[in-house]
Every structure is written in structure tokens, then in C-alpha cells.
Structure 1
Amino acid sequence: MNITNYNERSWAIDVIQEITKWADQRSVMVKRAGGETTVNTGTGSLFPDVLLYGDKNTLSNILQGWELKFPDTPLTDQELIKNARKKADIFGVNSFLVWNVKSAALYIINDKGNHEILHTWDNLNYVTKREHVKQYKNEWTDMLHNILSDISDYFNNGTIRSASIIDSITGNGISNFILGNTDQVAQQLEEKAQVDGDFFDDVNIWWLESRREYLGEKDPWIPLARIILISWTNKLIFGHLLKGFREEANEFNNITGDITVKEAVEKITSISEKCDFWNIFRPSLGEYLIPDTAWRGLVKFNDLLTRLRLEEVDQSLLQDLLRNTVFRSQRKAAGQFSTPRSLATLLASLTIKDKSSNVIDPCCGTGTIARASYDIKLNAGISNKDSLESTWASDKFAFPIQMATLALTSPDNMGEVIPIFREDATQLQPNMLVNLYDPFDGNILSKQLPKFKNITSNLPFVQQEDLKKLNPTIINDINSTISNIAEEKLMLNPRSDLYAYIPFSLWSLLEDGGRFGLIISNSWLSTNWGGDFRSLLNRFFHIESIITSGNSRWFKEADVVANIIILIKKDRKAVKLNNPETDEETSFVTLKENIEELVRDDDGKIDYTNANHLSSIIRTQTEVNDNNLMISSYSKEEITMAKNLGLGLNSLFANTKWLATVSNKMVRVNTLFDSIRGVRKGWDKMFYPTSEHGIESEYIKPVLLNSKSIKYLDTQATSDAFCCDVTKDELNQLGHTGALNWINTFEKGVNNTGVPLPKSIHSTKKERWYQMLPNQLAEIVIGINPGDRLFFAKLDKLSFINQRLSGLSRKDPDTNLDLCHALLNSVVGLFYIEALGFGRGLGALDLRSTDLKERFFMLNPNLLDQQQSNKILSKFQALKKRPILPIIQELNHTDREEFDNAVLESYGILHLKDDIKKSLITLYNIRTSVNK
């Protein structure tokens, strides 16, 4: 080659050859080199000029990337360093080298993410011109050998590290590069929706069902943009893997240069027609709407995959690459309720007793549960083919179908039909035709949907407010289905979330005696609609077990506490007669250890022996109390008794069988007290003024704003409430300018969304917009979201309470308020506080004012004589003199022990004290464990 034609690309080719020659003669970590050796297409490249590999014949171990320049580019050139660093991030390695012939610098990326020079070489300072490079080949070759020797030492001592091709392709580097264009894609999606009503409607329907998965997002554009970019990434990765199995997939190499999005979609569609995997390759919502910059990034990524030759990945690594692709997608785009693999494994293990039987996940999401079911079958010795044929999945949207297909694809089943299809779960019926795809020619295979022995699913988290917008007919349709099966008019509570409807919608798809394992929010355990849901579940299914976590949330990114429920289908005759088996029991199971530790081994791999052992204990309802789990089993009669005493199902995770002895000593609180709702007006700045308000005293009432300010069991309202029940004209006539000016200050104001305050402030027909009537005053208060302090506080006089509180006011002024206050704060009263609510995702207790009004029971003060009352009140004085303590400290405090002894002894139930305390502590620990 003529020296004048010798360019940087020519030099890079020579460097690669010299590295490989040097490595062949030595036993070092560097085995060979590759790099960017093709003509630049104009889209740029993500491939370094030189890439060092740690394997001689495969690409499985990537060591380091080098960027090469001729001497006229200084080694400190920021664009050169930036380019090299970007490629190091993409490949997931912690070092890179820049070399301009005369000198070289090795950079390391430290733990803080900053890059810094680790080593430099300045051997050839006399090489200053481009034409010198070919002339001084021997000299730069010697320098190259020095560089390689030094770099090998750094690898050997662990200073710099390599990356597997799996880490490179599925790690944060690639994801960050692709998702760096999210904002641009989101903007284009939003602009399209402004002019395309059909697209706007499609996005709205998707968002109504999916927005709770993305609680930090106020609109759909960013989440949808991420999904589109990740979906494209998945298609490209899988397309290059498919080249190892189907020659037609080599067309993916031609998604390069100036190809447009439309041309690429057409090319992929053509490939899918020949190779199938339509569930992976099908266009998804908004897929075409990618601006040019973002699309060029995807084309660059495809060029990178072409050069990495993924089709040559060793079979042993292929499944890991597929699994990591799915995991990366879950992490980056699948929302907050993507089912963790350990949770999916436990759910599948609990549900599937007959490992050879059919199972379906009708809301498959990312496919984790379907994959877990498949793996459970394989682990039991079922063949790959039979395991795949008996593992079905479906979803309403395209992206989950793509993810689930990737999750179920493995080197062992590449030629098999994967029974995944797109359909709304509420529309599934046995014998309906669904579309699968032939793996050889991609043709549609219409197949009848069988009845299933097992259904497993993490049901969608869609609230009833969105349900009516998402599917206006679903409520009537499923209520009609329920009534038809039962042969009498039945219906779910209108406030039910979507997940309450799906078990009844899918009832006909399940074989009689079949098992339904589902993951749902815990909100049903202690709500009115949840009680109706449970009653209907009991009619259509045997509720075999309800499992909760007693050690951290299962969904780490979401402030939601979830349960597993295992149901067994009753036949139509049993549903009609509503005649439950007398020995039917439900086990309430608390996992005391982190689910990851229970289901995985010491190396972090799924341990099916552990999962199956745990499932066997739960399924047989073996009452145990060890380090791993706690089980309490209840008959229908015992559950009914708890319900009649106002308790929700969440209380039964503790052993509460002592209630049978206590029940005749209890009375509903609403027989003695009126329940007071905290005042909600919608603009606290107006109704709870500061001390500088200037309002006349007759319009100011005491108000208690929150429970955090309450330090003692006796308390007082120290804040002001504006309470005016006269007209502005009357205020003017009276000369009460303070109140009048206060009203005028807010009359022209707006709320946080721009709505005028006179319209936005909550009021009734009897009230003026600025009125807060003094007809809801409390004597005793409780916070509606207690944390670690459980108590009822007594106010020194009737007072307003804010919406963050609930209150009680005596029906009969002769009721002994002090005695009731004491009994409400007994260990039985504190148990009721904990047992009536349900835990929120951040550990607070959700206790509504309706719970206090309708479901709260207390020890009956009318059963006590004067001597017993006096003794209780005497012991209660000590508690009132000191600050309220966190519940665990409170229960173990000496004066508390003496007080509870006096109360329980008076009712003849002192022997139950330890049981009651244990129940309370158990429920408290379960609630607060979500923060671990």
C-alpha cells in the first residue's frame, strides 16, 4: 500500500492483525482483536476502532475498546475521549484506550462514574505527520507490544475488568444510549395525538389500563416512548439471535445506512412471514413515530449487533441473553408491577399441582409468570415440548406479548409453536378460536382455547374510577355472567377494582376443581367492596390460602402491598346451591423471610426444591410458626365470626381465635358514640387561618389539625378554624370587617388547578362556599393513618377536627367518657385499631372514618361495676401523664402492663392477654415490614 493512501482505517486493520499475532504467541488474557473495519455509512458507529476479546473463537468476553487517530489529532482531544468513553459505557467495560501513534493513554472509569488516566505511553514523540505512520510500523508495533503487556498486567491484578457479551448487549450502557432519545420520541407521539384522533384514542385506552404502572408519570408520552424504544431494541436483538437458526433472518444485517422506519418495519414483517415470531416482531402502538435522531441511534445499534455476530453466541449463553433482555426491558419500560421472578415461581409452584396440566396467564405482562410455570414443569421432568405446549399466555397489548414470547423462547424450543396470543382477559372463553403462529412458515394457526386446570396471573392494578372509562360495559357484562352461573341476581360492589371482576370472568375457562393463583393488591382485605368480593369468591371458589409478605414489599418500585390468593373452582351446582363444605378452611400465610431468600439458593439462582417445599406446607395448611412463615387456618364459621365483629381478613394473618371468648364482652362503638368525620373543605389556608388573621372571635373555633401534634392521651385543639354561618351583608351590617375581609381575600382566588375557590371548595346545598358549620364536633379523636403510635386521644372540649382525623361524640351525655376513653386505649382497643385497617405501601395504616362508624367494637363499659371502673380509671391515670409511646414500647411499659391487667381481669379474660398482645404485634409487624 502506498504511504499516501495509508489512512486511519488502514492503520486500525494493521493494529488488529498485530494484536492477534502477539496474543497467539503468549498465554495472556488478551486472546485476539476485532474492530470497526467497514466503510462508515454516514450513521456513525458504536463499534470501537479496536476491540479486545478474552476468547479466541467467540465474542463472549469483551475486554476493552480502543479509539485510534493519526498524530495530527492531539491525545487530549475531547471529542476523541468522549467517543471512547461512550463506547466503553455501551460495552459495559470500565476502561478504554486512546492512541494517536506517537502517544497513548489508558483511562479507567472509577466507582463514581468518572474517567481518569491510569497509564500513558509516549514512545514515539517524533512521529508527527500522517505519512510517518506507515514508515514507522516497526516502532509503533514495539510500542503496541508494550501497551498490551501493561494492559495484561492490569487485567491480571483486577484493576480493569472485562464484560460478557450478555452484559454488553443487555446492560445499562445500551439501554441508556437507546433511551437517551425518549424525550424526542415522546414529543413526536404527543404531536401525532394532537392531529390523529384514532391514535389519541388508542393511547388513551392503553393509558387508562396501564397508568398505575407508572405512578410518577402524569401523562402517557414518556412511558409509551420508552416502551417503543425498548420494543425496537428487543426486535433487533432477537432478530440477530434468530440468524443462528434461520437464514432468512440475515436480512437484519441490512437494517443499516439510510433505511427508514417504514422500510425497516416492512423488512421485519417480511422476515416474520418466513420465520414466524410475529408476537415479537409485530408493530406496537406508535412504533412508526420515531424522529430521525432516535431512529439513527437504533440503526447504529443494529450495526453493532451485526458486527458482534450474535448468531455465533454459544448455545449455553443464548438463554441467559434472552433472559437478560427480558429483565432489562422489565427494568426500563415494563412499569412498576412487573412480577419479580421469585414471586412468579412461588405463585406457579403453589398453583400447579399436576405439572403435566394446562396453565394460562391471561394478563401475562412481561411473561415472568408464564416462564415460571414452564420452568416448574421442566424441573418436574416434563419434556421441553410438552412443557411449552401446556403453558399458555395472553395479554391485551402488543408489548407484553413481545416480552412474554421472549421469556418463553429458548434454544430448546426454537422450532415449536409458542401458545401466546393477544386478547382481552375478560373476553376469554373455552373453545374460542385464538391465533397462534406456525414456526416454519409464519402462517396463522387458529386453535381452540381449551379449559385449563390452572390459571396464574398478576392481575391488572386498575381502579374502579378508570374501569368505567376503560370498558364501560365490563361491569354489567361480568355481573350478568355471575348472575347466570349462580341462577340468581348477584353483583359485585360498584366500587370494586378491575381485579375483582376477572376471577368471575375467567371462571368458565377453568376446569371444575381447577386452581386459580392470582396476585392482587391487599386493598380488598378490609374494605366494604372487598367484603362483597370475598363473599362472591367464597360462592364460586374455595379460598384455599391467602399469602402476604411479612418482610418487605414484593413490588419494590410501587407503594402497593400485594397478596397471593389460591382459589379452587367450585362446579356450577355448588355455586347455585351455595352450600359450602363444612370442613372448608382458608389458611392465612405470612412469609416472615424475604421472598428472594425463600425461593433462591445461596448463589442467587431459583431453588425449585425450596419453592416446592414452601408450597407443600402452604397447600396442606400445616400450622407452623418458624423463621420462614406463619400460618393460621380458619373455618368459614370462624371467618364469619370475625366479620360479624367488624374485622377484615387482614386481621386473620394473626391467630385471633381468642375472639370467640371475648365476643360477648364487646359492643359496637356506634351504639355509644356518633362518628365524626374530619372536616374536608378543600382549602386549608382559608378555613384554618394563622394567628394573624384579624377575624372576630365569634367566628373562630378550636380545631385539631393532625395526630402528629398529639403527644398525650389527653389533648386539646390549639389551632383556629374559621366558622362563619352568616351572609356577607350581615357581616357588613354588624361591622365585622375582619371576617368579611377574610372572605373577600379568597373569593377571587383559585385552587392549584386554576378553578375559582367558590367553585372548588367542598360545600353542601345548605352551606355557602365559605361556611364550615359547627355541627361536627368531636370529644375523642384518632388519626386515619396511624404509624407506630396507636391511640385514642380525648379533647378537653368539643372541637373541630381536620380531615386527617376521625372522631367520636357521645350519643348520651351520661355515658362515662373517661371510662370509654380508657377502654378504647386498652390492648383490645389497640388491637382493633390495627385489625380494622390495612397497610399501605409505605407502612401507614389505612383506617377510614367509616370503619370507626360501622365496624369498630370495644369492650362494653356497661358490663363493669363501679369498683371495676374505678380500678381501671386509676391505672389509666399513669398512661395519661406520660407521652404516648410507639406501640412495641407501649405494650411493654410497666404502667401499661398494670392497666391492661386491670381491664382484662375486670372482664374475666386476663388469661388471654398474651394472645391478644401477640395478635396485635403480629399485625403491626406485617404492616410495617414493607419498609424493610
Structure 2
Amino acid sequence: MSRVIRREFDVEERIAEILKRFVGKRFNGVTVTEVVRQYDRGLEGRKADIAVLKDDGKPLLLVETKKEHEKRSPGAGKRFIPTSGEVLGQVFSYAAILKRNGVYVPFVATANDKQIAVFVVPEDIDKHVDWKAVDRRNYARALSNDYIYGVLRPRCLLFHKQIRFAEDFFAEILETLTGIYVKKYGIEEKKQPLHYSLIEDLRGFVDFLTPYIQDAITLGGKYKEEIAELVEDYGKTRGYTPTPEQLTREMAYVLLNKIVFYKVLERHYELEPLRQLYREGIASTVSQYLKKLSELFSKAVEVTRDFEPVFHTGICDRIDVVENEEVLKALDWLIELIDEYEIERFGDIVGYVYEDLIPAEERHALGEFYTPKPIAELIVKWCVRTPDDRVLDPGCGSGTFLVEAYKRLAELKLKRNFSKVRFVPRDVHEQILSQLVGVDINDFPAHLTAVNLAMRNPKAPSTKLNVVVKDYFKIVPGYKYLRPFEVKSVEGERLAEVSFKDFDAVVGNPPYTRWTEIDEETQDMILKLYRNTISKYGLTPQVSRGVEPGIYTYWIIHSTQFLKDGGRLGMIISDSWLQTKYGTGFFRYLLMHYKIHAVIDVSARVFPVPLIGACIVLLEKCPNQDERLNNRTVFMYLDISQGSLEVSEVLELLEKARASKLESHEHLFPSGAKALVRVYKQGDLLEYNDRLINLIFRADDILNRLRRHPLITSLATYFEPSYGNIVYLYLASKGVVRGVRNVGGNEFFYLSEKGAGEFGIPKEYLYPLLPSPRYLRFFTFTQDDWDRIKRDGGECYFFLCHKRREELPDPVRRYIKLGEGPNAQIRLRRRPGESVGRPVSESQAAEARLSRRDLFLDWYDLGGVASAPIVASRYAQYWHRFALVKFEVACDDDIMALIPRGDVSLDEDEMGALLAYLNSSFAKLYIESRGRTTGGGALALEANILMDMPILDVKKLARSDVERLASLFDKLEGGARRLGGADEVENVFGSVLAGELTDKGSIKPGVEGLFNTVIRDIDYEIAKMLGLEHLVEYVRQMVLDMAKRRLSRAGEADVGSLKGSEPAVAPKPARSRKSEKPSSKPPTARLDEWLKPQ
């Protein structure tokens, strides 16, 4: 059989390189003494890929990244599923061999380039391997299925998750493992719920199969002739032509979906059992396996007289896979997994895997994110109140909200908890389906919704299901369409009248899409429908001014039209509106159309994509102004950094808060989770005109007091903030040039010393460059700092050419030619749909410069560099460092440059005093309350935010005060240099606070931190000057609370922090074998008891 080779990097090398950084470091009192590749001590001629050794010289952890017979195969690290029997057999055999030789290894891991699985090793592992198979190196038979599914997976699997090749990721793993090893943690405390490990299993199958499909249907990155025509037709009906990567991944997912659904039907109909066809000798090649599956799927349609669109899926039925024994094994493994766990018992587990059909960055652009079930449950339970409610989900995806609505309606109709209902009676099932309407622009998730709902009662599929494939904004409420909609059902597409008006509830998770990411046709439709409304409430997109409301604002405006009076809207939306100016306009729209019951901000990141923070809005449509004005609106911040919450607890607290006369209070839940609750009379909010985040944290009380103080002025008094200090960026920041605020091709304008030399560019056309805020680690930037960038081979020069072409030397003219024309060699990054990136000369910024020939001589001319004595990182995770520039450099647009106004002159001490204030907790409070939260919990500064920033008016201070603050700034800079930078959380906040603020597992112990030392001194000195000493600790605590809220988005998604009513599903009991009986002993909390021999 052929072998698929797609070498991107060596997984073993990448993991080992990261782990070696921890040599000599201690985790929970355990020192990593050595990291060894190809570890062979005591392994009887075998070699483990990586061994992490502890203080006694013995392994703490073994990591396998390849199957043994593929050790010399390039790319083999990608070619296995980390939890397959053969892979587990190999790594546990190594642990058993070492145990036989007197060395107990407490942990093992398997990893490829996508996933990692980490296990605790039972102390009696040597008693549970088949030694004959181990000696023959037949690892597929080294462990019995009963042992894998009855012991290892339920008791010993700590976690199985997507891998990140980053230091903090592996530091967290080591912190967890050493904590269990020294009995600081019990295994149950750290074990991942089975639900999530199964999700990774299914993702792993799709990841594994996709490249084998791609190699079968493509050649040289293009579709093979026999499928190219089908793809073209498919693109015409679908609205876009999928790339080979997209289509092959979808084919793998569809096959997974078919197998899962067949196994479900197998338990309800007289169908031939789908067995492990390769292991049982029924299929010996991949083509035979696929043919047999196709026969079974067709038979399922025939027997059930239903479900044709599940099993007959158009182009995805044309799946082809290159011949490889590993594919046969993977298909067998999937069937075995489904048999062992009856996956449908875990709810919409396949819906999670749907996320991975589209890579994360593309999902972000499309705004598609899967909603955790408890979030959907909370929203649906609040919105759906009677058994006859009609429910609309206008962006239904794979059906999470509609499934929860189904369960809620079933409970209301049958008067009992859904967990007590095995199958809803057929008549009730059909009633419920007729009350649910879903819309999705994409036919594939719409199809999944239909399947998901049908699985509520596989014996009673219904044609009454209404899932419409259409752009939501093209559905006008109450309009009588000339032709019926095409709707999806398990029986296929059908024509039906769907009434889009007077819904009792509209629920969902709108797309997380910015205005510029919406297609032009939909933009036009939104403006046509709601131009007056969005103008009235300040929601008109103004991209050049940075006003770019998310699509969810228009989504809710549109949804309002579908609700009946008194109907409820519940959605989880981006939390960005809470900290933007347009958010106040959106809030005003809500005030005028709804009783705003609650805005719930959640500390834990609930989506598995770091770019997304979210909040829940619960609204009741109300045309009566008096009722709206007298409504009590709750703003709630849920801090789930400690403990967890039940959906019922949140709903109960919400109702108590609305009924209470208390305006604000903190609530502590039994689990340790906390809620900050603010209650307002809705009428009192009509005149509110500031960022909504301040209705939760009330930073305005302090900031307004600052603004009224005679020693406070705005930053605009002294400086003009700019996105970088290159003249084009400065003019674009001011609006003099109407263009994007980037140079338009860093690939061309930013050069390393080596690159500049290779192109022969003379020094007069090169200007020292600060290319990224990651080099701005301290509170000053010096020539030594710049020299370090140059020595390390970084981009250290900026191509500065303010001359006409005819005046330029030949090397410069040749270099410019590389960035222009059809033969350009230096191009912009390729955008979706482009085969190659455009020439740099065709960037938006270049075109903007060409339109202003009065300022710029040509597209390559950026005008020059403006002097900026103070700069700050535009984005910061922990603390925005305002730095004194001691060496003149050109700054990238990700660096905010403070350019002095023409009449401003500050001496050295005044500059130092101002910098002390800019790096204080008072300035930090302003930034936390006004800054824009971005990906991974970072906080963004914008020019307009800096313009309005209250600062000390250093010209009005006594000279002695100026000198004291300047001295403290010097102390701050010295402290940062000693710590090695102010860009690490421990160095800013100290080890203790860093652990509370983040979920990093690798906090450096014993660091006191700048916040607890010199920044504290600065805070008290400023407060003393302003007469606010009594408020210092309040300000500092508020900074910590707001930072904690933001940073909680930066860790891994804590989708389990909010718990629904559905109990966790336990694995089925393992099949008993005569040779080993499953232990009846309950799980214990500590390692020594957990791992005692059975």
C-alpha cells in the first residue's frame, strides 16, 4: 500500500525543544533534570521518543509521537490517532517494560501535530499487557479492548486535547503532572470529562482521514479532472467553490456523520450491524471498505424509508481515499469507539467536531462558533415559557439551540424532566418540530440541524421540521412570498409555507463578523432594511473612522421584527460592544424596544477560540414605554475562575436580583464562583452615554472625579496620538489622508540588516525601525535595545524613500520594481480566493498615497518619520508599557506614538513624571474601562481613547512633586530591567496575583512584581498629590477585577464552567473477561490509592 507523506515539521523535535526549556526548573517541588530524545534506558532495545526525567533520574513522563514501525518515516508524526489501540499499546508497553525492570513511570503521552493525550500509568501495568504481543512488538494486541475502555480511558486518561506548540501549554502540563505526582491534586480534580475526550477522538479521526482523501482527489494542489466538473457544479448551487482542503475535510466529516448515524439507527431498526470490517476480514482494501459502507447506507435508507439526505450527500458521496492499511485500522477504530460509548448518548457531540471543518481563522472571519450546551440551555429556559411557544433560531448551525428548545418544549408538554424521557411520543414529537424554525445560510449545518432534531426520536422522523437554507437578512417578517421556502428535513428538501412572524422566542448565537467581513449583497440588504434605524442609533458603519459594529447588532435589530409583543430574545453575542462607543448606541436601541432583563458577562472563555469573549443578553419585546421605563435591568458579571455554576443557579440569581431593592451586591455561590450584580431602573439608563462596561465595574466614579481635578488634563493637551510615527501613518491617524492605518506591505518596507545588504540598499534609504511591540519590553527604548534586534537578525530597518524615481540609484530602483507590476516578487499575503498575493504597490495604503501626490511622490513614499518621545504597545495582555524613546526609531502601526504638539516642551523630569503617571494604576483603570478587548484577552488602545485619557498636568505640579515622580519612573525602569522585562504576568503582578489572574500553569514562583512594589509607590504618590489617598486600594482592586475578567478569555476555553441540567454521561461498563474482573472499588482522590493494583 502507498504511504502518504506530508512533512511539515517533526513533532518529536518540536515537543522536545520546548520541554528542554524547563530543564533545571521546579514544578511543585519536582525538578526537571533532563529531557532525552530516543530514550532507551531499560527498554530492552526499544526507544521512546521523549523522556522527561525528574530528580531521581527516572522518567516522570514518556511521550510518543510516532508508531515504532514508522520511526524513520518522514511525516509519520501526523499519521495516527493518539488514542487508538495500537498507539496506546505501544506507549503502555514501554511503561510496562520499564516497570518489569524496576522503574515506574507515572505518566505517558501520545501526540501528533494536532492533538495530545496524557495518561496516568497504573502501578500494575506490567500485569495487564500481553507480553507475547509486546515481545513481538505487535502493539495493536498488547492491550485488550476491555482494559483500554474499562480502565485506561475512564480512570487514567487525564486529558485529550488539541496541542499548542508553546511554552505555556507544556508548562501547564508539567505543573498538572507534578502536582498529581506529589499528591497536591487528586486525579479527579484534573481529569477531563469523558464528553470532551470523545470530541477529540472524533476530531482526530477527521484530522487523520483528510490528507488521505486529499491525495486521492487532487494532484498538485488542484482537483483531478474526474472530480473538477462536479466541484464546479457544486459551487454553483452552494454559492462558493470549496478549496480542496475544505472539500476533503467536509468529506471526512460527512463519512463520520454517516457512520455515527447508522450506528444510532442500528439500535432502532432491523439493520445489518456495522462491524469492524478490516479486523473481521470483510474488507481488505480501502475501496472494499468504502463500497461496503455505501451498501449499508443505501440499505438503511431502504429499510427505514427515510434519512436519504443523511446517507446520500451529493458530492461527498464521491469520497475517495488512497490505499493505506492505517485508514482501514482507523475506520475499525471509529466503529469500535461508537460501539463502546453509544455516542448519541452524549448529545450533540458531533456538532463540536463540525467546528473543525473550517480552520479557526476562517471560522473567525465567517463568525461561526459552536455554542456550549449549558449556554444554550440557560437562554432557552429563560426564553421558552409555555408548551405552545414558537421558537426561531436564525443562525442554527448544527442545531444546538433548537435541540435545547426541543427538550424544553418536551418538558413543558410532558410535565417531567427531559432526562426521564427516553423518546418523546410521536404526536408530541411532531408538535414540537412544527413549533421550531431554524435558518442557516449554509446547507451543510442546516442539514446537521435536521439530523440532530430527528435523533430526538429516530423511530419517528417528521416532515414537519422547518430548517430553511437562506440568508437571514433576506427573510422579511410577515411578507408573503410568491413561492414556498425549500426546507431541510430528514426526508430531504421539500416545499413548504413557513410563517416568519409572531415568534414567542428568538434564540441563538449570531455570527461573530465585522462589517467589512460581510458580503456586499448582505450589507446592501441591511442598509436597505434598516438605514434609518442604524443612523438614528449611531450604528452606521464608518470603517475609515474605526466604527465597525459587529453583525450581531443588526442581527438583533432584524430579529426584533420577528417577535410578537411580549416575546423574548436570548442570545450569546460578542462582548466587544460593552467597551466600544457604538455599543452605547446599540444599548439605546435595546432600551427603546425591549425590557432589558439582563446582560450577563461571563469571566470564563466559553468558546474554544481565543479571539472570542462573549456575553448573554436576555430581552423581552415591549412596546409600552411605561413598562420599559419601570423595568429593572440587571448587569451581571460571573466570575467562574474558582468553582463552577449550574444554569439553574444563574437563572435563580437573576430573578432574585430583579425582585430585590438592592442596586448592587456581590454573590458567592457554594462552589466558590462569584457574581457581581448591578441593578438599575431601566428609565435611569436612557441618558447613559458611556461604555457599558462601566455599568458593571463603575470605573466612571473614579475617572469623573479625576477629570474634575485642577491638576488633571487630557493627554491631547500635550500630544497627538498616532498609530506609529511614520508620516503616512501619522496623517492617516489624523484623517488628513483617508487610508488604512498600516504601511501596506511590511514585507517590502521592513528589512533585516542581512536583507538590506542583499538588495544593496544604501544606508541613506534605511531608517532604524521598531517593528513590533514585542521588542518594547521595558519602560525605555535605547540604542542597545535596537542593536539587539539587529544582532538577532530581526527587521531593524525601515525603507524610507522620499525621492522621485529618476533621482534614485539603480539598487533602489531595482528594489522598488520587486514590489510592483505583474512580475512582482514581493507581494502581500494571499487573501481567500486569490492564487497569489497582490503586488505591494496595489495595497490599500499604496493606493491612498497615490491619490495624494501633494504629500507623497509615489506608492513607495511614506513621507518620513515624526519625532515621538513616548510610545506604547497598541495591544497588551497585562500592562500597557508607556516607554521613553532614547533612540529615534520608526514605529510600526501596532505601536502608539505620542507626537508632541508644536508648542509643547517638556524637560527630562517632566517627561519622567508624566511617564510615571501613564504607567500607574490610575491610567490603567482608564485603559481597562475604555480599551477594546481583542483576541486572547489582549487590550487595544486607539488614538481617540488616548486623546481623552486623563493625565497629570505636569506643568502645574510643584517641582518637588515632578522630581519625586520622575525618580519613581527611573525606579520602575530599573525594576523592569532587573526582572528581564515588564511583558510577563509574574513580572507585572507578582507570582501570587499572576496565578489568580490567569490559568497559566507555569507561574514563576517568588516574584514580587512591579504592581506590588514600585507601581504601588507611584499610585500612592499620585493619590497624595490629588488628595485621593483613601481611594488608592479601591482603584487598584478595580484594575485587578477588570484585568481578571479580560484575561480569563486568554486561557483555554472553560466550556465546563457553566453546567447544564443534563448529567455527565458515564462510560458503559466494560465487558468482563475471565482473566480480569473490573474493580468495584470507587475512584479515590490521590495517586497512591488510585494506582494500587486491582
TM range (shorter): 0.5 to 0.7
- Measured after TM superposition, the shift of residue 838 of structure 1 is 3.0
Q: In structure 2, what residue type is equivalent to 1:345? A: E
C-alpha distance after superposition, 1:650-693 (max 9, x if no partner): 45553425234334235432243212221343346655563986
* Equivalent position of 1:824 in the other structure: 918
- CA distance in structure 1 between the partners assigned to 2:942 and 2:959 by the alignment: 34
* Matching residue within 400, 405, 411 for 2:450: 405
Structure 1 residues 789 and 403, CA gap change in structure 2 (3 angstroms) = same
* Matching residue within 841, 863, 866 for 1:773: 863
- CA distance in structure 1 between the partners assigned to 2:445 and 2:897 by the alignment: 47
* Matching residue within 751, 765, 770 for 2:826: 751
* Equivalent position of 2:1017 in the other structure: 898
* Equivalent position of 2:527 in the other structure: 476
* Equivalent position of 2:803 in the other structure: 726
Q: How many residues align?
A: 766
Q: 2:379–2:570: 8 Å Cα contact kept in structure 1?
A: yes
Q: 2:348–2:400: 8 Å Cα contact kept in structure 1?
A: no
The alignment status of 1:559 with 2:610, answered yes or no, reads yes
- CA distance in structure 2 between the partners assigned to 1:303 and 1:891 by the alignment: 56
C-alpha distance after superposition, 1:733-754 (max 9, x if no partner): xxxx6xx645544543532456
- CA distance in structure 1 between the partners assigned to 2:475 and 2:883 by the alignment: 53
* Equivalent position of 2:635 in the other structure: 587
Structure 1 residues 513 and 823, CA gap change in structure 2 (3 angstroms) = farther
* Equivalent position of 2:1032 in the other structure: 913
Q: 2:203–2:356: 8 Å Cα contact kept in structure 1?
A: no
* Equivalent position of 1:713 in the other structure: 779
- CA distance in structure 1 between the partners assigned to 2:146 and 2:263 by the alignment: 35
- CA distance in structure 2 between the partners assigned to 1:771 and 1:786 by the alignment: 30
The alignment status of 1:670 with 2:716, answered yes or no, reads yes
- Secondary structure of 1:454's partner? strand
- CA distance in structure 2 between the partners assigned to 1:89 and 1:713 by the alignment: 48
Structure 1 residues 156 and 262, CA gap change in structure 2 (3 angstroms) = closer
* Equivalent position of 2:877 in the other structure: 787
Q: 2:469–2:486: 8 Å Cα contact kept in structure 1?
A: no
Q: In structure 2, what residue type is equivalent to 1:623? A: H
Counterpart mapping for 1:520-531 below 5 A: 520-527=573-580, 529-530=582-583
Q: In structure 2, what residue type is equivalent to 1:500? A: T
- CA distance in structure 2 between the partners assigned to 1:318 and 1:894 by the alignment: 54
* Matching residue within 315, 337, 360 for 2:392: 360
- Measured after TM superposition, the shift of residue 560 of structure 1 is 1.7
* Equivalent position of 2:45 in the other structure: none
- Measured after TM superposition, the shift of residue 392 of structure 1 is 3.9
RMSD: 5.6
C-alpha distance after superposition, 1:793-821 (max 9, x if no partner): 22247653222211112225345452433
* Matching residue within 867, 877, 897 for 1:807: 897
C-alpha distance after superposition, 1:495-545 (max 9, x if no partner): 334333211222111122332222233343444555554444444445443
* Equivalent position of 2:705 in the other structure: 661
C-alpha distance after superposition, 1:871-895 (max 9, x if no partner): 5445545435442744424664444
Q: In structure 2, what residue type is equivalent to 1:751? A: I
Segment of structure 1 superposing worse, 173-182 or 892-901 = 173-182
C-alpha distance after superposition, 1:65-94 (max 9, x if no partner): xxxxxxxxxxxxxxxxxxxx9999989997
- CA distance in structure 2 between the partners assigned to 1:683 and 1:700 by the alignment: 14
Q: 1:92–1:168: 8 Å Cα contact kept in structure 2?
A: no
- Measured after TM superposition, the shift of residue 698 of structure 1 is 6.4
- Measured after TM superposition, the shift of residue 780 of structure 1 is 1.4
The alignment status of 1:856 with 2:982, answered yes or no, reads no
- Secondary structure of 1:633's partner? strand
The alignment status of 1:690 with 2:715, answered yes or no, reads no
TM-score norm. by structure 2 comes to 0.58
Q: In structure 2, what residue type is equivalent to 1:338? A: Y
Q: 2:82–2:110: 8 Å Cα contact kept in structure 1?
A: no
Counterpart mapping for 1:152-231 below 5 A: 179=210, 181-184=212-215, 187=218, 190-191=223-224, 195=229, 199=233, 201-202=235-236, 205=239, 220-231=243-254
The alignment status of 1:373 with 2:417, answered yes or no, reads no
C-alpha distance after superposition, 1:681-729 (max 9, x if no partner): 3346655563986977766655544444445434446655554433455
* Contiguous gaps of at least 5 residues in structure 2: 1-78, 91-107, 113-125, 134-140, 158-193, 276-281, 364-368, 417-423, 727-741, 787-796, 820-824, 829-836, 991-1008, 1052-1094
- CA distance in structure 1 between the partners assigned to 2:359 and 2:781 by the alignment: 48
Q: 1:273–1:443: 8 Å Cα contact kept in structure 2?
A: no
- CA distance in structure 2 between the partners assigned to 1:156 and 1:416 by the alignment: 33
The alignment status of 1:341 with 2:389, answered yes or no, reads no
- CA distance in structure 1 between the partners assigned to 2:1027 and 2:696 by the alignment: 26
* Matching residue within 114, 118, 122 for 2:130: 118
- CA distance in structure 1 between the partners assigned to 2:529 and 2:922 by the alignment: 41
* Equivalent position of 2:101 in the other structure: none
- Measured after TM superposition, the shift of residue 759 of structure 1 is 5.2
- CA distance in structure 2 between the partners assigned to 1:581 and 1:156 by the alignment: 58
* Matching residue within 459, 469, 473 for 1:426: 473
Segment of structure 1 superposing worse, 466-475 or 110-119 = 110-119
Q: 2:602–2:615: 8 Å Cα contact kept in structure 1?
A: no
- Measured after TM superposition, the shift of residue 923 of structure 1 is 1.9
C-alpha distance after superposition, 1:394-413 (max 9, x if no partner): 32323212322333345657
Structure 1 residues 459 and 184, CA gap change in structure 2 (3 angstroms) = farther
- Measured after TM superposition, the shift of residue 638 of structure 1 is 8.6
- Measured after TM superposition, the shift of residue 771 of structure 1 is 3.1
- Secondary structure of 1:782's partner? strand
Fraction of identical pairs, as percent: 17
- Secondary structure of 1:287's partner? helix
Counterpart mapping for 1:496-575 below 5 A: 496-527=549-580, 529-530=582-583, 532-551=585-604, 553-556=605-608, 558-571=609-622
Structure 1 residues 523 and 569, CA gap change in structure 2 (3 angstroms) = same
- CA distance in structure 2 between the partners assigned to 1:780 and 1:176 by the alignment: 48
- Measured after TM superposition, the shift of residue 857 of structure 1 is 3.5
Q: 1:318–1:410: 8 Å Cα contact kept in structure 2?
A: no
Q: 1:777–1:801: 8 Å Cα contact kept in structure 2?
A: no
Structure 1 residues 859 and 514, CA gap change in structure 2 (3 angstroms) = farther
Q: In structure 1, what residue type is equivalent to 2:708? A: N
